[in-house]
């Protein structure tokens, strides 16, 4: 069993396999830190396993089997958001390039600017319609969003320091700040990039 805080060759091997399968992890360094935990959660979600962040027998079996989600889009570059599995997929011509742990709307009621709201993430076919290359404060006073890419009104995919393996947001789709940097700086998802939420 491997868990957060572990170090060494076994952790390195797991990290290398996660990267090989397309799970977002910047580098394999043999240190089971928060970034590795995010990648393990993503694998567990894709495999339909308990989201405990531990690399035990079932998670190792998923790694060995090469478990990775399939894309729904078939052409061009697209961001796919799988709400059931709480994953963001970076897709190129029908091939999943990266699998990212995500956290979307939790369905709870809340009040913003004196008005009752429900924390949900809308499904449907959208595009990136607005983006802010930096930290942005929610106009509804719901907190900070790192490098948001908006796809419908106030809904965006954005970086955060809190991405648990379950729905926890007011409706936006949270990914790690490192994953958001990768989307902006390496992969690229300019205005007009399709965003498919299901």
Residue 141's pLDDT band, with cuts at 50, 70 and 90, is: low
Which residues are CB-contacts of 113 (< 8 A; sequence separation ≥ 6)? Answer: 140, 141
Predicted TM-score (pTM) of the model is 0.94
Distance CA 175, CA 163 (A): 6
Name residue 87's beta-bridge partners: 82, 101
pLDDT at 140 over 80: no
Lowest mean pLDDT across 24-28, 63-67, 117-121, 137-141: 137-141
Average pLDDT of the chain?
96
> Other C-beta atoms within 10 Å of 33: how many?
13
Residue 157's pLDDT is 98
Question: What's the rounded mean pLDDT across residues 97-105?
Answer: 98
In the chain, where the domains are located: 9-65, 77-197
Options 1.10.101.10, 3.30.1320.10, 3.40.50.2020, 1.10.10.10; CATH for 9-65 is: 1.10.101.10
pLDDT at 131 over 70: yes
Residue 114's pLDDT band, with cuts at 50, 70 and 90, is: confident
Question: What's the rounded mean pLDDT across residues 131-152?
Answer: 89
- Asked whether the domain spanning 77-197 has the same topology as the one spanning 9-65, the reply is no
Distance CA 18, CA 6 (A): 16
Looking at residue 102, the DSSP 8-state letter turns out to be -
pLDDT at 80 over 70: yes
Tokens representing 41 are 């959660």
Class of domain 77-197: mainly beta
pLDDT in tens, 9-21: 999 999 999 999 9
Question: What's the rounded mean pLDDT across residues 72-79?
Answer: 97
């Amino acid at each position: 069993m491997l868990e957060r805080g572990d170090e060494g060759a076994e952790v390195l091997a797991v990290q290398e396999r996660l990267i090989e399968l397309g799970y977002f992890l910047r580098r394999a360094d043999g240190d089971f830190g928060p970034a590795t935990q995010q990648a393990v959660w993503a694998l567990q979600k894709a495999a339909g396993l308990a989201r405990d962040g531990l690399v035990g027998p079932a998670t190792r079996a998923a790694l060995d089997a090469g478990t990775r989600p399939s894309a729904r889009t078939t052409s061009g570059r697209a961001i796919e958001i799988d709400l059931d599995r709480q994953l963001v997929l970076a897709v190129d011509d029908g091939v999943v390039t990266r699998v990212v742990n995500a956290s979307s709307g939790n369905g709870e009621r809340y009040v913003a600017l004196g008005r009752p709201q429900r924390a949900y993430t809308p499904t449907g076919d959208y595009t990136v319609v607005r983006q802010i290359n930096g930290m942005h404060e929610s106009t509804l006073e719901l907190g900070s969003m790192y490098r948001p890419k908006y796809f419908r009104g106030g809904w965006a995919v954005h970086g955060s320091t809190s991405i648990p393996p379950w729905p926890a947001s007011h409706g936006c789709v949270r990914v790690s700040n490192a994953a958001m940097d990768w989307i902006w700086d390496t992969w690229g998802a300019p205005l007009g990039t399709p965003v498919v939420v299901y």
